[in-house]
Amino acid sequence: MQRIYVGPTGSGKTTILQEKYREKVKQSKTEDCLVFAKDAGDVSNWRLEIDLKQMGPLQIFSYFGFIQQELKQYWHLVDEELPGGRKSLEPTFMTVEPAHYLMSELVREAREEGAFASVKATSEQIAVQLIDNLNLAAMNSLNKEQLEDKLLGWAGADLDKAAAYEQGLELMLKFKELAREERCLDYSTLIKLYHQHLLNDSQYCQELLGRYHYLIVDDLEKMVPGAQQLILKLMEGVEESYFSFNPEGGFGRFFGSAPEMARENFFPRCELVELEGSYTSSERARSLVQNLMAQILEDQPLAESPYIKDRILTDLRGEMLVQVGEQIVELIEQGIEPGQIAVIAPSVDQVLDFALTKYLEDRGYNLLNLSSDRRLLDNSFAEALIVLSLLANPEWKLELNFSSLLHTLSLVLELDPVRSALLSEEIFKNKLELPDLDKVGLRARLGFANSDSYEQLKEWLLEQQNCDFELDYFLGRIFAELLAPLTPAEKDILACRQLIDSIAKFKEVGRAYWPQEELNRRFMKMLQKGTLAAKVLFKSADVQDQVLLSTPYSFLSFSHLDSVKYQFWLDISNQLWLQGSSKELSNPYLLSQRELEESWSDSIDRSLRKQQLCDYLRSLLGKSTQGLYLADSYLSSRGWEQDGVLADWLSADYLGVSADD
């Protein structure tokens, strides 16, 4: 039995697969059934949803998690095939942070020698793009020659571009060599080693194909080509396979997934079961989707849609945000739960986050920012860990952001902003050494109680200087002795724990490349360069009583949310709605397995941008049940006139039609 359940978002595909899972493991055992989910968040949801009276080990993984487990278990089959023969009992898995930092260092050194002269991106941005190239090549099973041909073919006759791509290729190869030599495996190296060595090893394949009786794959359309290759291999050994496929879930193709390839690989092999209806969207939302697709892709006129509740249009962006806040509060007062309202913008900047947060907090409501660029250091307690570490280690000679110092002093000493600013200014004047309050005349201005707290903090920091310590241990001490007494919320504790885990993982990899005494400083330098990839984690409980703020991709990728009742699309004349996925040195379209009918051109770029926008809007409306609000301003927060085309596609007479018309 090989079956695919095909249906839109909210048609019940995952629920059916979970019922199949319960049915099959009751007939045998949990070890016999292998499940692939899209990512770690969905894996976690699957594990939470499975409610069995008796359970053995759950074989539920993401593609990456599965091959990581397999490489660790069968490392002896791989290690002996690598240059230098057997070197380690098990590999070290390189997380995103050290991989990004290591590549950034290679880029920085290359730039000092004159490389990437024509590239506008920063060294950190170049590093991300080069890592993306390696990951895309691995996911699409491209070898070194194919990767080189595609990149240099993209450059065409542009000699500057060709030189930059050649320099990038050189660094990518150097990075791969460093990873293999030290057995520190990044994402791309993991995939390459698994497919080149284990999947080509007869002993391993024989064991793998005899291991499972049942195979379940959720969100087949989001599986990258490498994952599809593995799934096809597993189908040879299992008795039954069950898959779900969302024909509307194409937005992931710009991040490596291959829905068209999944159709070609699996549809002819399987029985198709079509599912209709959706509990995460309404018929009116789906009608609007069809209108938008026709307007954007085929230039057809828009039909009236009662799904649009209102259109907010102002001259200034600040005015628009106030009116958005008013509409949100009105919905909440009508009985809509805050967590059923999502504000979605192409870019969640600080102005948007601060203005909407302040407006809602003043009225007793909270805003939760799901944006993918929300870093751990945006949390005040995690920020304080870093600031206090820098103050305790002036020998690192690393710069400290003034606002970060101000926020930390306000938090730790419980100072008001004015006193915190006065103290921060004196610390900066004193080259980050804590001054004598009497010498700088601040004791009276701070107040005696505040001054006593400052003296205690100063004494604590002085005691830590010149101590030989492990940074993760030291951060734990800071939290336990200085921050825990401030009664941090659960989200603050989680952010600090993530940060401490991050340095531990960084050191595990970093020991292979740098002296032990440099690791603490290098980690802090990495933070200052913006290369910390760890994001704030959320739980399903976080979204229940808070209005959501997000970019389209972050909203669609958030695994703890099926749908919301109302969405607000902001800044619809912002050009970022039609942003392409290609960068100066990276292009997911070119690095796919598809054979290109023509060379890269502006027309292809425009077509892909429109397709990506359509995929986003269709997926967004697939997670909305009651209505949509559109909001825009003639001027951006910087005072620039906005001229994005999404506003034109949405500016038809139907806008503003009420649901009762």
More confident residue, 101 or 4: 4
Which DSSP helix (H) or strand (E) runs through 273?
strand 271-274
28, 35, 221, 431 from 49: Cα distances, Å: 19, 13, 22, 54
User: Is-same-fold flag (2-59+212-274; 283-374+540-650)?
Assistant: yes
Q: Is the separation of the CB atoms in 23 and 50 below 8 Å?
A: no
260, 407, 466, 469 from 482: Cα distances, Å: 54, 15, 19, 17
Q: Given a cut of 50, is residue 658 above it in pLDDT?
A: no
Mean pLDDT across the chain, nearest whole number? 86
DSSP 31: G
Q: Is 315 helix (H, G, I), strand (E, B) or coil?
A: coil
Rounded mean pLDDT, 191-200? 93
Rounded distance, CA 457 to CA 452, Å? 9
> What is the separation, in whole angstroms, between the first and last Cα of the chain?
49
Rounded mean pLDDT, 620-632? 92
Q: Given a cut of 70, is residue 655 above it in pLDDT?
A: no
pLDDT of residue 70: 95
Q: What is the pLDDT of residues 102-158, one digit of tens each?
A: 999 999 999 999 999 999 999 989 999 999 999 999 998 888 898 998 888 888 788
pLDDT of residue 657: 35
pLDDT of residue 448: 86
Question: Three-state secondary structure along 195-212?
Answer: HHHHCCCHHHHHHHHCCC
CATH topology of domain 283-374+540-650: Rossmann fold (3.40.50)
DSSP 479: I
The vertex-588 CA angle with 93 and 64, nearest 5°, equals 25
Give the position of tokens 């098990």. 90
Contacts of 205 (CB under 8 A, 6+ apart): 198, 199, 233
CATH topology of domain 2-59+212-274: Rossmann fold (3.40.50)
pLDDT of residue 301: 56
Percent of the chain with pLDDT over 70: 92
Rounded mean pLDDT, 64-86? 87
pTM of the model: 0.83
Domain boundaries in the chain? 2-59+212-274, 95-188, 283-374+540-650, 377-528
Q: Given a cut of 90, is residue 88 above it in pLDDT?
A: no
Q: What is the pLDDT of residues 551-590, one digit of tens each?
A: 998 888 887 788 899 999 999 999 888 887 788 899 888 8
Q: Amino acid letter at 594?
A: R
Q: What is the pLDDT of residues 402-441, one digit of tens each?
A: 989 999 999 999 989 899 999 999 998 888 888 998 888 8
133, 210, 245, 599, 643 from 139: Cα distances, Å: 10, 25, 20, 22, 36
DSSP 92: E
pLDDT of residue 656: 35
More confident residue, 659 or 71: 71
**Residue 266, CA atoms < 13 Å, CB-side half-sphere:** 33
247, 554, 632 from 569: Cα distances, Å: 23, 14, 9
Cα 197 off chain centre by? 29
Q: What is the pLDDT of residues 152-169, one digit of tens each?
A: 888 878 899 999 999 999
Rounded distance, CA 411 to CA 487, Å? 11
Percent of the chain with pLDDT over 90: 44
Which DSSP helix (H) or strand (E) runs through 185?
strand 184-185
Q: Is 126 helix (H, G, I), strand (E, B) or coil?
A: helix
Q: Is the separation of the CB atoms in 526 and 532 below 8 Å?
A: yes
Q: What is the pLDDT of residues 522-549, one digit of tens each?
A: 888 887 776 554 455 555 556 678 999 9
Q: What is the pLDDT of residues 257-302, one digit of tens each?
A: 888 899 999 999 999 999 988 888 888 887 887 877 777 777 665 6
Rounded distance, CA 295 to CA 293, Å? 5
pLDDT of residue 335: 94
Rounded mean pLDDT, 55-75? 92
More confident residue, 126 or 49: 126
Q: What is the pLDDT of residues 228-245, one digit of tens each?
A: 999 999 999 999 999 999
Q: What is the pLDDT of residues 627-643, one digit of tens each?
A: 999 999 988 777 788 87
Q: Is 255 helix (H, G, I), strand (E, B) or coil?
A: helix
Q: Exposed, middle or buried by CB within 10 Å (0-12, 13-18, 19+), for 459?
A: exposed
Q: Which residues are 61's β-sheet partners?
A: 36
Q: Is the separation of the CB atoms in 375 and 402 below 8 Å?
A: no
pLDDT of residue 652: 53
